[in-house]
Structure formats: C-alpha cells, structure tokens
Structure 1
Amino acid sequence: MKCKRNFLTFLAFFFYLVSSFFCIYVLCVDAPFIHIPGNGVISGTYLKMFRTQNIKAYLGIRYAHARRFSPPDIELTPWKGIFNATSFGADCLQNPMPSMGKETDQILKILSSDTNQESGSARKYEENCLYLNVFVPDGLPEINGYAVVVWIHSGDFSTGSPADVNPFQLVFKQKVIVVTFSYRLNIFGFFTTDDGEAQGNYGLMDQAAALYWVKKNINFFGGDTNRITLMGHDAGAISVALHMTSGEWSKGGFHKAIIMSGNPLNSVKLPSDYEGSLDQVSSTFGCPRRPTSMFMQCLKKIDGKRLSENLPSVSWGPVLDFGLSNTSYPFIENQPEILFKRGSYHKVPVIIGVTDMEEVLTLFKDNLDAEISAADLEGFFNDIAVNDMHKLVKNYEWCSNYELISEAIHFMYNNETDNDMRKANKHIISAHTEKFYITPMQMFADMISKDQHVYSYLFKTRPKSVLQDLPSWINVPKYFDQVFVWGNPYMTNSVEWKSTDKKIAEIIMTLWANFAKTSNPTKSNVYVKWNAMTPSNDSVLLIDENFNTDNLLKNQRINFWKSLYPRILYYSADCCNSTSSGSLLIIPKTITILSTISILVKIF
C-alpha cells in the first residue's frame, strides 16, 4: 500500500513537471499571476489568434471609484484572494448610439470584431464603471520593459467603449503594451453648474486616474514607466490634447502623445453654456432647478440607468472649470488655444493627423450619390459665415456683412476649371476638413514644434478590401484609418484582405510603435521619410501607397483659413458692431471678391 502511495505521489509530481514545462513553452490557459502591491494578486488569460499568435490579457481591473458628480477616488481596497481578470468590466452608462450611417457602422463593426469578449455575451453597462484592461506581449520584455500605449476611446463624450477596438495585432506584432479603459460619459462625466456646486470634467478626471494607475503599476506587467504614450481618436484625441494642458492632473503621467482625427485647439464650453440644458434635465426628471444643491440631490437619487436612458438631447463634453471648485485643481483653466500659445502645457513629442475627408459620411449621410448643386455649395459657405459671425458678435441679429465672408470662402473653393461632376461635393468636404481639422493641426504644430518634435500626417488611402461600393469621389472618412492603426487586415477572418491593406497596416503599426518606443516613428524596420515639422517646413506625411511628404505652408487654402479668414471675419464683425457709419469701410458689391481680399490684406 505504501509503495502504491509513493508511486501515485511520484506520478502526480511527474505530471506536474510535465504540465509546467508545457505551460512555459507552449502556453497555459491562464496567464501568469501578477502581484500588485496594495491591491493583491490577479490572474489573466491568454488571447489566441490563428493558433500560433498569443498575447496576455488582464481585463476588467478597477482603477478608481467615483460617486456621482464627484472626482474619482484612486484609493482602492485590496481584493480578497486572487482577482480573476479574464473578462471585461461593464461599460459606462451612455446614450443609445444612433446609427452613423451604414458605411461608418460597417467600419466600426470591423474595428471591434474579434474583441475578446465572452462568446455570445452582450455588453454590460453600469454607472460604477472605472475599469481598465492591460494587453501584454507574450515573452520577455526589453531590459527596461515594454513601451506602453494608453488608449482613450472614440465617441462624442456621451458614447464609446474601450472594446470598440481590438489591440491584439499591435501588441503581438510590435511588442508594446496597450492599456484601454472606460471613463464616465454624458451627464455622469460632464455635469457642471456655473455656481461652483459641480465642477464638471469628471470624465477627464477619470482618464487622469487611469493614467495614474498605469504609471504606478504598469512595471508589474513588464511595462516601462518612462515610456508611456497617450493615444486617442476623435473625442479621445481632444482628450489627449486636454491632458497636455491639464496642469497637475496629468503631470508626469505620459511622455508622448498621438492625436488622431481630433482638433487639439477645439474650444471648450463655458459652464453658462449648459444653463438651457440643465433646465431641460430639471424639467425631464421633475427636479427643482434652484438651489443647485437640491437639484443635484434630486438627480443623485435617480437610478443611473433611468437617468441615462431618459436624458434630453444635450451635447455633453469638456468645460472651462477654472474657479468652479475650492477642493480640486481646474482641469481646463483656459481655452486650449490660449494655453498652447503661451506655452502652458506638458511638452512631449507628438504625432498628429487627420483623414482627408473626415466628416464626409456625416455631411452626406444617406445622400452619397447625390450631386450637390452650385446653390447648395453657396448655401454651405453661407452657413459657415453666419455661424462664425454669430459666435464672434455674440448675438443672432441680422448682419449683412456675412456675405463678404461667404464670398471669400466661395472664391477659395470655386474652381471653374474643375470639370469633375462631383466638384461641388469635393469643395464642401475640402472646405470642412481644411477649416476644422487640417488648419488647426497646422496651427497646433506651429505652436509646439519649437519645444518638441511634432510629426503630422494626412491619411489619403482607405482600405481597398471593404466598402468598395462607396462613390469614387469619396476618399478617407473618419474611422477608416483606424483599420490600419490596429492591424485589422491581419485580424478579421470575415474579410478577404488584400495585400495592399496588409502592407499599409504593417507600416502604420511600425511607425506608431517606433514612436512609442523611441519618440522617432522611422527609427527602425520601416523605409519611410517622415521629418518633424519646423517653423520653416510644415512637413506632412501623405499616407497612401507611396508615403510621400508635402509642405502645408504651400497650401493656399490652409493659409486662407489660418491668416486671411480671421481678418475678414473680425473686420465684418467690427462693421456689424459699429454704431458710427463714418467709421465703416464701405466695400461696394460691384467690386470683385479678389479686389476685396486685396483691400483687406492692405488694411490688416
């Protein structure tokens, strides 16, 4: 009997050694345990693709707690036993996401495909949602650890999820750690009042808390705490720029920034801009609007899900919160453009870029085959003029000088030699992209290139394997570039990806990873010339099959939006606000717009 027991013990020990050897060299089901001081031990999981590709994932890790309408609390209670970090945490409560058009919905589905959620499980939504996910390459890191990319998800500050993208291929191919996380959205993340009761920007504070957690703990996952890149797209890109100007909130939390398809100089709202929206919220939920303390107490008693599902249509987002709290630093103490101009920002290397037709699927939603008339084109330019004039003069009274502004825009974009049947369509989207995306990108680069390297790009190619039925005049809409950033051509089985798409994805992932590792996107393993921008050379990488460069200083339309247009706008607004007809400069309508522009150039 004793011999039998000894034999069974030996047999068990033998199988333990064999299984341990097998785990080390082939892969275990569970990723290695990690001990996080002050929190406890967590177990992760291996994610697999195509049998031979593996990465480690630690999912659904809490990084902070937060009470409604309060900054996050980063003090975490240690968990008991081993925390099972093998499934995503709940997403933050959000507005139902409307369809963005079938083309955008399809590309978003591709981006999120193969996201390693439990098979067949639906996403969960909770108010207590501050979780993050750490994706780690399989194998031994560099001496100082892996470079780290912290991703801020897309959306409109009311929608979005860290599971909207799948970082598998970027982690596997480029050997970088990627961290994704949730942050509070809509009213939960951006409720604010103008009397100091509610500071707002809680969603941005959540992002800063996630950065703090990463900086404190990523070394336990094999990450380098001195190589953290903050990367975002759309609302996430605006967030990255705001972290650059956030003072104490994000200081030391990241060392590089990647800003994709977002305006870094985007003006933020004032607390007073939300007054009408708060009146709507008060009416919808039957809460007293005044005093604010009672209003907030009432809102805090409403079930989170009910509050989220019944919110009136409000454009929630960042707010200038200087002076709104006696206990917290302001997250946004002034407009971003002012802060960047005066050098009040965290000086880190930057990659910044846009697609060449950012909002085309929004502007032409459900009308992609329609041919815009000359009258429609003129109406579009009129709308830009009227909106900009009203913002400047701070009222919606009639002002005839908007015609001058509209004609100036029309002059820059109405090329009579263009025989393309879709020229009006192209002029509209070109004007929109150049005004709201490319010009701010160029201005931003001018402001910060004296302190740090800035690499800019313009995406001019979209995936050739999907959505081939898009009209030929459409080039690269928003989100289409993300297919290459995350390596989807190497990931999605549901699409037969062309070799061209795989090649571009390989190059883009290499450029982005090189930047995260060395601050130089062309440091190694890629044959692309991409110079940093300088005051005398606004070099921009044109991302297509050729990867050539251009100089934005040579683009007259960018120069128009940057320099001449503001002067025309201020001149027209000054005329509208003036009460002395003797001080007005009268420009007869019979004078051509070219002559008008010449007059204004001389004036200014």
Structure 2
Amino acid sequence: MWLRNLFFAFVFYINYNFLYMCVNSVDAPFIHIPGNGIVSGTYLKMYRTQNIKAYLGIRYAHAARFSPPDIELPPWKGIFNATKFAANCWQQGPSSSNVQLDKVLEIISGGMFNKSAMRKYEENCLHLNVFVPDGLPEVDGYAVIVWIHSGNFSTGSPFDIDPFQLVFKQKVIVVTFSYRLNIFGFFSTDDGEAQGNYGLMDQSAALYWVKKNINYFGGDENRITLMGHDAGAVSAALHMTSGEWSKGAFHKAILMSGNPLTPIRLPQEFNNDLDRIASVFGCARRPTSLLMQCLKRIDARVLAENLPASIEWGPIVDFGLSNTSYPFIESQPEMLFKSGNYHKVPIIIGITDMEEVLTIFNDYLSLELSADDLKNFFADIAVNDIHKISGNNEWCTNFPIISDAIDFMYTDKGSEENGNINTNLINAHTEKSYIMPLEMFIDLLSKHQSIYSYIFRYRSQSLSGDLPNWIGVPKYFDQIFVWGIPYVNNIVEWKSTDKKMADIVMTLWANFAKTSNPTKANVYVKWSAITPPKYPYLSIDENFNTDYLSNNQKVKFWKNLYPKILHFATECCNSTNSATKYLMTYTIYFTLHIYIF
C-alpha cells in the first residue's frame, strides 16, 4: 500500500515543504525573557489556514563534559533568532534496523522540519523548542506538555516527533528538548569521580527553564505535564522520585510504552564497561581521574562514533557518588515508590498490545515459528532470570521447572497453528515485561493519586499492508494518533477512521494536560481512574471499551506465582536429591493446575 502511493506522497511532500519554507520566512511575535533577552520565532503553517508559532533552538543550559548542567547562562546579545532547530546531541547511528519500524518513525516525525539539522551534532547541545498555538491563550495561559524523546538513553532527538497538530487542534503548548546521551550523559565511576545521570540532570534543567519562563510564551506554569515514551517514560518516572532535582517542576505525567519500575544499574556494574572504554581509546584505566582526563581530551565525534556498541547506557543509582550535588536516584525506583518518597502527581500510563514485536522478530515477521521455537524462547527466559538472581553463569539443572511452567501457561495444546505460536511468544514477552510491571506500578501509586491506564489496540488499516495479520500494535504506532499525524498526510494515504482516532486520542491527552481528567470535555469516552483490585483500563480501539487487568490470569502468573517458582528453582540448584526435585516439580504443576482452574 505504501509503495503504491509513494509517487503521490512524494509530489505532496515537495509541494508541502515549499509551502512550509515560504511560511517560515514570517517572524512570530518577539518575546522578552528576563535575564536572557529578546527571542524571535517563526510561524509554521499547514494548508494555508492552519498555523502555530515556534521558537526553536533556545539554549536552556550549558554542558561541560562529565559534569552537571550549568543553568546560569549569560544574556544573549541583540535579538536571538529562534527560527531553526539546533544540532542534535552526539550519538551513534540509528537505533532501528527494521524497515517497518523505520517507516513508522519517519511518519511520526512528519517530514516538515529542516532535515539538514538532523544530521548536525554538537556536544554542547542543550537546546529546547517551544510550539505555541496562534491566538490569545486562556486567562491562566495554555496548558504545557514537555516531551522527553525515546531512544534507550543512547539515541533520539526533538526531531523524532511533529507536534503541529496537537498544538493547533488542542491549543496546548508543546516543548521538546535535547539532552546528553550515551557516554556524554551517563558516564559514571564507582569511586565518585563521575556521578553519572547527567542526561537526567539535563532534563531537570529543561524543566526548570520551562517552569521559569513558559508564562512569557502564554503558558501556564502551574499546568505542566511531563510526557515521555520508552526511555522518555522511564525518565518521567525517575523525575517523580528525583527529590530536589525536579520537585515542583511538573504537575502531571504521561508514561507511554515504558516500565517505570525498570531496575537501575549500580555503579559497580559499570566497571567492566569502563575497562573496555579505556582499552578502545588507549586511556589509563586507573586512577579514574586519569581516565577522565584522557576521555575529556578526545574529540566528541571520535568518542561517540567509536564507543563499544554493546554498552547499555542509562541511569544508575548515584547515592553517595557526589559531595557537591544531590543524588538523582537514591535507590531502586520500586523501593522509592513503595516508601512513598516521590512526587505524587496524576498519571496516564499505558502500552501497545505488542510492544516489541518488530524488535523481537525483526526481519522474520513472516516466519512461522514451531512449538520447539516457543519452548526454546521460554527456556531462554528461565536461564536469564536464574542468572539475574544467582549473579553467575553456573548451569542450573532446575531451569526446566521454570520454562515448563511458562510453557504450561502459553501453549495452546488444542491448536497447532503457527500464527498462534507467534502470538503466544510475543504475548508472553509483553505480559511479563510490560503489563505485569504496569499493574505493580499501579498497585503502588493508586492509593495516593489518580491514575488512568490504557492498552492501545487500534491497528490502522493504512499501516497494515506490510505486516502479517497476527501482529497487533507495535511500539511507536500509537504515537501516530497522539500527535495527529493522519492530518499531516505526508507519506500514507490515511483513512477517515484514522483521523477520527487521532481526534479522540489527542483530545484525551490534551484534556488530561488541561484538567487532569482525560474525558473532561469534547469526547464521548468513559475512562475511569484506577481502583484496585479490578484495575480498570481503557482499551483504545474502535470501541473504546473498559477492560480489567485483573481478568488476565497470565499476568497474575507473572506477578504472583512465577517469582515463587523462580525462587524455588534457584534455591534448589545445588540440590542433588533428584527425588526431591521430582516431588517439587510435581507440586509446582499441581499448584499451577489449581491456580488456573
């Protein structure tokens, strides 16, 4: 379907960008920001009648390598020209190697911005962009959405999304920004020489700037919603637990496709990566001060392009690593939320129904898996989870107890259809890695604040041509409707149902940003806040029905029974009494049978 319409889309794209470039020459009203100076923006326009104001590439902090951001900036001279995006933060190549996912990422970005800026990189890259509705704001100002981009803390940029339609149709301000990534944002040492979490500190600095200055753009500094996707959603949750760093800087949060209870690495877990980095760049490993001096001398581009690709950059528990700044993450997020030591704000949280299907299957979307493939996948889960608990690579002969239990839950003995096998595999991953943590997070927070939960299940027929029928909604596909992309019409020939879905989803998200209630106005959808123990959530599809997390027995398995099986298997790994193992295995199966039926 995409290929068939490619020529017409290309013609539209050329005409559209010509129109956009012409409108870009018109300056938006000057804005005076006390302490900084006067800023000049630009109008963005679509279809001759739709326009918003944009103030692009505004610096919000200064970033020295391996140091917290400096928010004390000197005023700029004259009028600052905020009509073009600033360069990206340094990063390695594209995060995706999947054709379908790359196409969706391109669709979400809209194609309306200066593509040349996307290929420019700087180390001192802390800039933000403010998109403002045209016209007079409400009495108290526009509600504000601050967007944290995806990218697993290694890639990503403000160019990833096109906020035009959400700003234009819903009359909210959207702020996007860059923050330091990979080694520049998350370099850490166990001895306190480098605290780490600099990328998260950058995010706090951006929030501080927005809180301080957004009223000059017509925004309401008391209605700031922090919204993130994937790593951005994890970041938003960490801002809730960040103590003084982001306290009072936002008033609501929208967490999309991210696990807010993701375990955070401890500083000592990074030591092997430091050894590899020192080796790659020919630096002395110890003392750490010499390693840092060496790394600081390396050109930013050389550093970014030669990092070992297998290093997992991201947040760490940094308690006690600095004598000059507060820790950003004092303990594991689950512990902080359990203790009640977090910023209590209303929340929307949800996922798509097949989050990582494109990543897991990648180039093999049309491959029909066998029953043996499914069992091997479950065996991998068992071995990996045993390793996480035991902390070593010793072989555990009890891992079949775990894998057989998973197989019992997900294998449909009455059906040998290959499509069902594929679906069972991805459902197991989604329910273990996303829905179960989602329910645990709701468990911890719903007693103290309003939480609205959703699972996105609307599969656009306009995007289904290259995907097998068994696939539901992969990661990122929901953003098409959050940002109103069907109204951009850039690559895909969208259907009227897609536009209707975009209208409803944008209204829900904007209502929440404005009033903390997603169904407050202009939408006929019933969406109740979470109330345990049934855990209602909104199933976002053509019908917008309410369903309940408590109805999913497989999630109960992952949440309640699986940890007990895992604990038993690891405890008994050193046992040599095969009779005991057999007896306990029988007990586990008997328990499973009683539990399910």
* 2:298 paired with 1:302: yes
Q: 1:218 aligns with which of 214, 218, 221?
A: 214
Query: What TM-score, normalized to structure 1?
Result: 0.92
What is the 5 A alignment of 1:150-299? 150-299=146-295
Q: 2:439 aligns with which of 437, 442, 454?
A: 442
Deviation per CA, 1:107-140, whole angstroms, max 9, x where unpaired?
Answer: 001011233227x665311101000000000000
| Residue in 1 that maps onto 2:12 | none
- Cα contact 1:446–1:534 (8 A) shared by 2: no
| Residue in 2 that maps onto 1:338 | 335
What is the 5 A alignment of 1:97-176? 97-117=94-114, 122-176=118-172
- CA distance, structure 2, for counterparts of residue 372 and residue 184 of structure 1: 40
| Residue in 1 that maps onto 2:590 | 595
Query: What TM-score, normalized to structure 2?
Result: 0.93
| Residue in 2 that maps onto 1:12 | none
* 2:586 paired with 1:556: no
Post-superposition shift, 1:569? 0.9
| Residue in 1 that maps onto 2:7 | none
- Cα contact 2:86–2:117 (8 A) shared by 1: no
List alignment gaps of at least 5 residues for structure 1.
1-25
Deviation per CA, 1:525-572, whole angstroms, max 9, x where unpaired?
Answer: 000011011123300110110000111111100111111111111121
Q: How many residues align?
A: 573
Deviation per CA, 1:273-324, whole angstroms, max 9, x where unpaired?
Answer: 1111111110111000000000000000001111101111211111111111
| Residue in 2 that maps onto 1:353 | 350
What is the 5 A alignment of 1:525-604? 525-576=522-573, 586-588=581-583, 591=586, 594-597=589-592
Post-superposition shift, 1:596? 4.9
| Residue in 2 that maps onto 1:402 | 399
- Tell me which amino acid in the other structure corresponds to 1:286: G
What is the 5 A alignment of 1:76-91? 76-91=73-88
- CA distance, structure 2, for counterparts of residue 434 and residue 494 of structure 1: 33
Does the residue aligned with 2:364 lie in a helix, a strand or coil?
A: coil
- Tell me which amino acid in the other structure corresponds to 1:594: Y
| Residue in 1 that maps onto 2:17 | none
Deviation per CA, 1:469-508, whole angstroms, max 9, x where unpaired?
Answer: 3100011011111100100000133321101111111000
- Cα contact 1:515–1:521 (8 A) shared by 2: yes
- CA distance, structure 2, for counterparts of residue 417 and residue 460 of structure 1: 26
**Structure-2 change in CA distance of 1:41 and 1:255 (3 Å):** same
- CA distance, structure 1, for counterparts of residue 189 and residue 270 of structure 2: 8
Deviation per CA, 1:165-211, whole angstroms, max 9, x where unpaired?
Answer: 00000000000000000000000000001001011000000000000
- Cα contact 1:34–1:43 (8 A) shared by 2: yes
Post-superposition shift, 1:577? 5.6
Runs of 4+ in 1 over 4 A off after TM superposition: 598-601
* 2:269 paired with 1:312: no
Deviation per CA, 1:560-596, whole angstroms, max 9, x where unpaired?
Answer: 1111111111121222267x969x9533488386315
- Cα contact 1:538–1:553 (8 A) shared by 2: yes
- CA distance, structure 2, for counterparts of residue 325 and residue 562 of structure 1: 36
Does the residue aligned with 2:53 lie in a helix, a strand or coil?
A: strand
- Cα contact 1:112–1:163 (8 A) shared by 2: yes
- Cα contact 1:514–1:522 (8 A) shared by 2: yes
- Cα contact 1:463–1:483 (8 A) shared by 2: no
List alignment gaps of at least 5 residues for structure 2.
1-22
* 2:413 paired with 1:424: no
* 2:502 paired with 1:508: no
Post-superposition shift, 1:598? 6.1
Larger C-alpha radius of gyration, 1 or 2? 1
- Cα contact 1:151–1:181 (8 A) shared by 2: yes
Q: Percent identity?
A: 68
* 2:77 paired with 1:75: no
* 2:468 paired with 1:433: no
- CA distance, structure 2, for counterparts of residue 577 and residue 522 of structure 1: 55
- Cα contact 1:411–1:593 (8 A) shared by 2: no
| Residue in 2 that maps onto 1:13 | none
Deviation per CA, 1:386-443, whole angstroms, max 9, x where unpaired?
Answer: 1101111111111111111111111110122346431110111000000000111111
- Tell me which amino acid in the other structure corresponds to 1:282: A
**Structure-2 change in CA distance of 1:171 and 1:250 (3 Å):** same
Q: CA RMSD in A?
A: 1.9
- CA distance, structure 2, for counterparts of residue 27 and residue 335 of structure 1: 46
Does the residue aligned with 2:462 lie in a helix, a strand or coil?
A: coil
| Residue in 2 that maps onto 1:10 | none
